[in-house]
Structure 1
Amino acid sequence: MKSKTLKINSTDNIEVALSDLKVGNSINSGTEVYDLITDVQAKHKFATTDLQPGDDVIMYGVLVGKATKAIKRGEVITTGNISHAANNYKLKERKISWDVPSVSAWEDRTFMGYHRDNGTVGVANYWLIIPLVFCENKNVQVIQDAFMKGLGYNDSDSSYYNQVQQLVKMHRAGIAREDILNIDLNALETDVKAEDRVFPNVDGVKFLTHSLGCGGTKDDAINLCGLLAGYITHPNVAGATVLSLGCQNAQISLLKEQIAKRDVQFSKPLYCFEQQQVGTEADLMKLAIKQTFAGLMKANEIIRKPAPLSKLCIGLECGGSDGFSGISANPALGYTSDLLVALGSSVILSEFPELCGVEQELSDRCIDENVAQKFMALMTAYHERAKAVGSGFDSNPSAGNIRDGLITDAIKSAGAAKKAGTSPVIDVLDYPEQVSKPGLTLLCTPGSDIESTTAEVGAGATLVFFTTGLGTPTGNPIAPVVKISTNTTLYKKMNDIIDIDAGTIITAEETIKQVGERILDYIIEIASGKVKAKAETLGHNDFIPWKRGISL
């Protein structure tokens, strides 16, 4: 018989409802029986003992809140009776031993990737067009309009374009408004197909427009150029075209410095144009379009070849999380993370505001004291900056998080950290630094989905695996973003954006280990180009640089 509740750690004094529970129900959990005195919705928690104001609320074996009023055994936990709380942390002894999972089934597996001159291997082959300053966004848009349909890259949204064109034709032909409203748009013809691509070995031309680059601090310019350099040197990128106005802080020379920091022998095609030197906008466009086309011809010569799984770098992300995230999708992805580390791959855990309360565990897992101290210093500085502007990590949970059971940041964080598995932390990076070692790396970013995903890819993630309990369409211009649902209801409801269902853990159809292994098999399929992530198919090319400040 499937259990109705879950006690995650033996020291916990709250328990998770796996389905809707009604007041008066008697819940059998291990050797205990709880008589519910309130309704408890699925994903939410109830107290397993009487709590007094000020008492600790424990979940995942860590402090996640404080009781703000008396709570009875069997009573639902809400924002009305507990508040966020988390333990302090300090440098302690290393705890870097871990149970290395068996990877014999994958040791000889390969993926089909794009091999770069610097030894990295991409899972895709893109060309980038980037403005160094927002003043050039319009010119980038002009190139986008010229290239996308002309080169056959409108796969994701061409059907909508063609639907509009068909409706225009019908309107001009005098078809009545009422008749147009009854037309089945899915039945309309489309005229752009994948086989129309001029460069079949180039997965696309991507345009990274943004609102930065002009004023701001020197650090703003350095961080922007560092992020853009991370994309230009990225294994999934064949080359890039860069447009500069000329008078902004984010100069071409600064970008090239950041590129050299990441790839000393950088050899990809890179075409940089400065409008104030070239002259007219028309001349700038002619130069950029002609050289970009020539660069695409070169990029099209690259083909997929076998590569070991150790060449993969996976970003671990979550967004639209719910009360099941920490017990289904996140630990399953954590098991995948351990498998990848055992295979010599790299994995990245980011979203520092969503690690509040588990700092001690993660710092103890750092490979040496220097790495641990860097992690703790970044966490402390981030939290202090947040408090200085009248906020704090406790403000992180969204309305959707709270509605679906994540009622304190510490509850959310303890579940979010499960994505990192159990392996040692090899390195800690500050934004926008780049991964340079195999194993688990922590990257300082906001918890905001797109800012964090943007940063992980800039740090070198060739794929991002993204857990969600509520659903989110987040994607990335150059790296597949694969969605894993925490519950089967979401998987069925939003199957156009969800790739993998981990809700089978909640229904006891599969174990965490089985789902984690299934995720790894899917990673190989995605990395080889055999399957497309739903976000990629739908054309979600989200790119938001983090303007270093307070973003939770």
Structure 2
Amino acid sequence: MTVATTTPPLATDTVGRPSLLVHASDNVRVALRDLAAGTLIEDGDTSVRLVEPIRQKHKFALCDLQVGDTVTMYGVTVGRATRAISAGGAIRTDNLAHSTDSSGDVVRREHWLAPDISSFADATFDGFHRPDGQVGTANIWLVVPLVFCENRNIEVLRQSVAEALGDDPYRDYKRMARAMLRGESGDEGSPPLSSPFANVDGVRFLTHHQGCGTTDDDALALCRLLAGYITHPNVAGATVLSLGCQKAQIAMLKQAMKERDPEGLRPVHYLEQQASASEDALIREALTTIFDGLHEANKVERRPAPLSKLRIGVECGGSDGFSGLSANPVVGATIDRLVALGGSGILSEFPELCGVEHELRARCVDDATAQRFADLMEAYQRHAAAVGADFSMNPSPGNVRDGLITDAMKSAGAARKGGGSPVVEVLDYTEPATRPGLSLLCTPGSDVESTTALAGSGANLVIFTTGLGTPTGNPVVPVLKVSSNSDLARRMADIIDFDTGEVIRGEASIDELADKLLQQCLDAASGRYTTRAVSLAQHDFIPWKRGVSL
């Protein structure tokens, strides 16, 4: 099989329509609202009458399907019928199984039609310029444990620093609890204290459950991930706590640091508890490094930077049946604009690229890049099979409930976050992105593990799409949350930054919203807009454990 170098455009016009045919070659449609049995769906010369109610976001067959027939959406295979499905019948888990068709030769796409970027031709963002040439969208001092044994000391430091700086993100909740205990309403907020470090976005304290009792590969991967965070453009410097006897040794982290920062430009302080006189001495020394670091970090101010210094990671979580129609394509169009302007994007979650591998390989800039993507995908699938798992197990109950019946269906929509620009490099977990343009990063489909990895590979901003609502954030990178539907944006306004529901209602085009989203990204990167995840102190950090516990 040969894959065409171009494909028909995906439909986006939803004005007044009860359903949508996403791609001209699809044999299912998506219900844009709840549809009653007997509803006549007309599209040009064809029509189908629904034989049962179809819920909003779910799919229905356009023709009679027999057992084994292919179901196509987004122009790709998303499953095979396990039961006969009548035209106008709902697509469900009891009549469709995950299936893909990515075999055959791939013809590389030689040309990419870049979007109109004239309105951003002179755009910059205000960032923190680092000695190694990177530019941060935030200015943070990082406190890192090498092993889970130090999590308690990390928490002691977190509370102590928050108290000293008047920067406790949970102060209002604590006051609320005290008031409720006394039988008071506890509704009045308290103003935050002003920070003495005007140019610093705060101190971030990582905790995790790795560093010992794991395979050597996992210990090394942890050190490489932590090195990615310490050398991140949003990080001014770091304090590292080690117990001393764990598998993830200070020497391993220093080697990983040398790979990322060969000139040693990033200030890092390594403290080992088993070599310290006491816990009190350890905490005192750690606090000294933190406050000294803050004083130095505060000397750096935001200055204009070209968009070539902006690298946006794209992620999705709590996806629904509209995510692939609104939020994800809007984000993809935003990434295309950034790439055309000289910037970079990173697309991750390899289990959610299952079924569209041939399209991504066709977009790779050369054979070696395409082959590396294929090799990493195959290795991931083999490892999953070895532990009794499969990519087909990826959709969550929430995904399925809202219309994402198979992993292939979910993947076809999720991949749209990467837009259509050429793939310039393929990265394994913890590898840094180095080239301008779109990169593919091998991560799991788990929201927090993947977002953690995006930051570790150098994304200095993350766009996160959701249809069901998820509060995921990151310790060092602003995460901008994009909803696929306006109902979610209204219900969970405290976690949503940008709403693409207008696409579903036919009130705005993908291109119009992509221009607006890119501008909001520049505002977030410049500190002019504070994302909801940052406001909520959503500092999620979970390293990917690829091996097994020992």
Question: What does residue range 201-240 of structure 1 map to in structure 2 within 5 Å?
Answer: 201-240=199-238
Q: 1:96–1:366: 8 Å Cα contact kept in structure 2? A: no
Decide which of 500, 510, 513 is 1:512's aligned counterpart.
Answer: 510
* Structure 2 CA distance for aligned equivalents of residues 47 and 166 of structure 1: 56
Deviations 1:413-470 (A, max 9, x none): 0000000110110000000111101100000000000000000000011111001000
Q: 1:26–1:33: 8 Å Cα contact kept in structure 2? A: yes
Decide which of 61, 65, 68 is 2:82's aligned counterpart.
Answer: 68
Q: 1:319–1:468: 8 Å Cα contact kept in structure 2? A: yes
In the alignment, does 2:174 pair up with 1:161?
yes
The offset of 1:391, in angstroms, is 1.8
In the alignment, which residue of structure 2 is the partner of 1:486? 484
Decide which of 152, 175, 188 is 1:138's aligned counterpart.
Answer: 152
Decide which of 95, 107, 110 is 2:121's aligned counterpart.
Answer: 107
In the alignment, which residue of structure 2 is the partner of 1:367? 365
Q: 2:215–2:547: 8 Å Cα contact kept in structure 1? A: no
Question: What does residue range 335-414 of structure 1 map to in structure 2 within 5 Å?
Answer: 335-414=333-412
* Structure 1 CA distance for aligned equivalents of residues 365 and 193 of structure 2: 47
Q: 2:102–2:356: 8 Å Cα contact kept in structure 1? A: no
SS in 1 for 2:41: strand
Question: What does residue range 212-291 of structure 1 map to in structure 2 within 5 Å?
Answer: 212-291=210-289
In the alignment, which residue of structure 2 is the partner of 1:186? 187
SS in 1 for 2:128: strand
Structure 1 unaligned residues grouped into runs of 5+: 172-179
The offset of 1:284, in angstroms, is 1.1
| One-letter identity of the residue aligned with 1:19 | R
Q: Give the root-mean-square deviation of aligned CA atoms.
A: 1.3
Q: 1:91–1:372: 8 Å Cα contact kept in structure 2? A: no
* Structure 2 CA distance for aligned equivalents of residues 304 and 90 of structure 1: 50
The offset of 1:30, in angstroms, is 2.8
SS in 2 for 1:127: strand
The offset of 1:167, in angstroms, is 4.8
| One-letter identity of the residue aligned with 2:170 | D
Decide which of 93, 100, 109 is 1:86's aligned counterpart.
Answer: 100
SS in 2 for 1:464: strand
The offset of 1:375, in angstroms, is 0.4
In the alignment, which residue of structure 2 is the partner of 1:174? none
Deviations 1:181-218 (A, max 9, x none): xx33222x52x5152x1212111100111111113121
Question: What does residue range 412-491 of structure 1 map to in structure 2 within 5 Å?
Answer: 412-491=410-489
Question: What does residue range 282-361 of structure 1 map to in structure 2 within 5 Å?
Answer: 282-361=280-359
In the alignment, which residue of structure 2 is the partner of 1:10? 24
Q: 2:139–2:201: 8 Å Cα contact kept in structure 1? A: yes
Alpha carbons of structure 1 residues 107 and 291: separation in structure 2 relative to 1, 3 Å:
same
Q: 2:474–2:538: 8 Å Cα contact kept in structure 1? A: yes
* Structure 2 CA distance for aligned equivalents of residues 266 and 503 of structure 1: 47
Q: 2:217–2:547: 8 Å Cα contact kept in structure 1? A: no
Aligned residues: 534
Structure 2 unaligned residues grouped into runs of 5+: 1-14
Point out the more displaced range, 527-536 or 262-271. 262-271
Q: 1:89–1:359: 8 Å Cα contact kept in structure 2? A: no
Deviations 1:262-297 (A, max 9, x none): 122231221111111223111111111112211111
Q: 2:484–2:500: 8 Å Cα contact kept in structure 1? A: yes
Point out the more displaced range, 286-295 or 468-477. 286-295
| One-letter identity of the residue aligned with 2:171 | S
| One-letter identity of the residue aligned with 1:68 | T
Deviations 1:71-107 (A, max 9, x none): 1111111111111101133553321421111211112
| One-letter identity of the residue aligned with 2:167 | Y
Alpha carbons of structure 1 residues 248 and 96: separation in structure 2 relative to 1, 3 Å:
farther
* Structure 2 CA distance for aligned equivalents of residues 141 and 466 of structure 1: 27
SS in 2 for 1:205: strand
Alpha carbons of structure 1 residues 138 and 46: separation in structure 2 relative to 1, 3 Å:
same
| One-letter identity of the residue aligned with 1:464 | V
* Structure 2 CA distance for aligned equivalents of residues 36 and 167 of structure 1: 53
TM-score (norm 1): 0.95
* Structure 2 CA distance for aligned equivalents of residues 413 and 525 of structure 1: 30
In the alignment, which residue of structure 2 is the partner of 1:30? 44
Q: 1:332–1:502: 8 Å Cα contact kept in structure 2? A: yes
| One-letter identity of the residue aligned with 2:133 | G
The offset of 1:237, in angstroms, is 0.4
Q: 2:179–2:186: 8 Å Cα contact kept in structure 1? A: no
SS in 2 for 1:271: strand
Q: 1:233–1:266: 8 Å Cα contact kept in structure 2? A: no
In the TM superposition, structure 1's runs of 4+ consecutive aligned residues that sit over 3 Å from their partners are 88-91, 164-168
The percent of aligned pairs where both chains have the same amino acid is 53
Q: 1:153–1:205: 8 Å Cα contact kept in structure 2? A: no
* Structure 2 CA distance for aligned equivalents of residues 276 and 267 of structure 1: 27
SS in 2 for 1:239: strand
* Structure 2 CA distance for aligned equivalents of residues 20 and 328 of structure 1: 18
* Structure 2 CA distance for aligned equivalents of residues 32 and 516 of structure 1: 33
Point out the more displaced range, 400-409 or 246-255. 246-255
Q: 1:91–1:369: 8 Å Cα contact kept in structure 2? A: no
* Structure 2 CA distance for aligned equivalents of residues 164 and 149 of structure 1: 18
Q: 1:118–1:266: 8 Å Cα contact kept in structure 2? A: no
| One-letter identity of the residue aligned with 1:162 | R
Q: 1:333–1:419: 8 Å Cα contact kept in structure 2? A: yes
* Structure 1 CA distance for aligned equivalents of residues 485 and 211 of structure 2: 41
SS in 2 for 1:57: strand
* Structure 2 CA distance for aligned equivalents of residues 96 and 229 of structure 1: 36
Decide which of 51, 58, 74 is 2:65's aligned counterpart.
Answer: 51
The offset of 1:166, in angstroms, is 4.2
* Structure 1 CA distance for aligned equivalents of residues 139 and 103 of structure 2: 43
* Structure 1 CA distance for aligned equivalents of residues 335 and 113 of structure 2: 13
SS in 1 for 2:118: coil
SS in 2 for 1:505: helix
* Structure 1 CA distance for aligned equivalents of residues 545 and 108 of structure 2: 34
Point out the more displaced range, 422-431 or 102-111. 102-111
| One-letter identity of the residue aligned with 2:26 | D
* Structure 2 CA distance for aligned equivalents of residues 271 and 101 of structure 1: 45
| One-letter identity of the residue aligned with 2:186 | L
SS in 1 for 2:120: coil
* Structure 2 CA distance for aligned equivalents of residues 391 and 54 of structure 1: 23
